[in-house]
Structure 1
Amino acid sequence: MGTRFLPNRAKTSSKTVFDDLKKALFGFVRAQATLVSITTVIILIGLLILRVDYAITIALVTGIVDIIPYLGTGAVFVPWIIYEAIAGEMSKAIGLGVLYVVVLVQRQIMEPKILSSSIGLDPLATLIALFVGFKTIGFLGLIVGPVILVIFNTLQRANVFRDIWTFIKGKDEVIIK
């Protein structure tokens, strides 16, 4: 009912913005699922090499914990490594430490690329959005930063800023490309 009063260009822009945001949301979920899957497989392989009991269960639980931003696999590995070191199992503690470093490095290398390609953002812009979001509003900024970047890019792709500028300048009609 309300779209009857909107100009065609506004309807088109709104649809483009909505479609891009929907695509970005599903891309984000797909990227996180991909990253968690890769992490889980690496942890499983590492635990099998270390001959850890219940390796599959531990890998699955650690993969699920990996969803938590900023803590991730460290919430499982750090206490486990400390426990093994205190218990005198230094070889297992070192092995877990190496596995944890491998998982961290893999995540740091792959996350920007997978996230940016799934959402449709430049990897550098994604990293900057993550950093600025974290520095301005903390932990929640790791989610809000990329969301704002997606919204900004979507509005730019839909030519909303150009249309607003044309309206402000007082042109009668908006040129549609």
Structure 2
Amino acid sequence: MPRTSRHKRRKIRRGKLPAAGQRTLVVVVGADVREKTLYVQERSLLDELLAMMKHLNQALREDPQPLDHCDPGHFVAVLREADSTWYRARVYDISKDSVHGAAQNGGSATVFYVDYGHWETMPLDGLRRLPEALLNNAAFAVPVVLHGVPALSSRAATALQGKFVEAQVLVDERPQQVVLFTTDDNVRLNDVISTFDH
């Protein structure tokens, strides 16, 4: 039996930096050192990100739709207790004490914040249906790999967190391979990180 559009799972597109060769001002927002991946947000899109976040939080305050089902891979709205703000996220794992994605006492999910590039485990009752219109925006956290850097240490990832740098795409595939430069004195950070971590 064909799937109806009601059951068709829509995805948030993966973000991407501009074409190879040009430099783009970005801020480093997250990292996955196992995958040697940094997550960056384009500075020029931060106003668009803030507008999307405002729309998301207004929509969830007015009508927080509960999830009727939740599986790994689903895109959801997540309420972070730390700042009482709703975020877009993708479910990566659901704990064993959760049955078929329904919130049970103590049920939890590991989610990835698609616009901010980090993971968190949280109670299933903090997840809601993501408004359809918010699936149209590409993820604001763009995964990149540092070209020529064999490994990314936690120390280097932490040092880069929250920093504005220029990113230049060298290899335009998934994930994009980039060279990072400091904004003030044009230092090639890939070389510094390779030396720093070895």
**TM-score, normalization by structure 1:** 0.27
Which structure has the highest helix share of the two? 1
Which is greater in Rg?
Answer: 1
| Higher relative contact order (Cα pairs below 8 Å, separated by 6+ residues) | 2
Which structure has the highest strand share of the two? 2
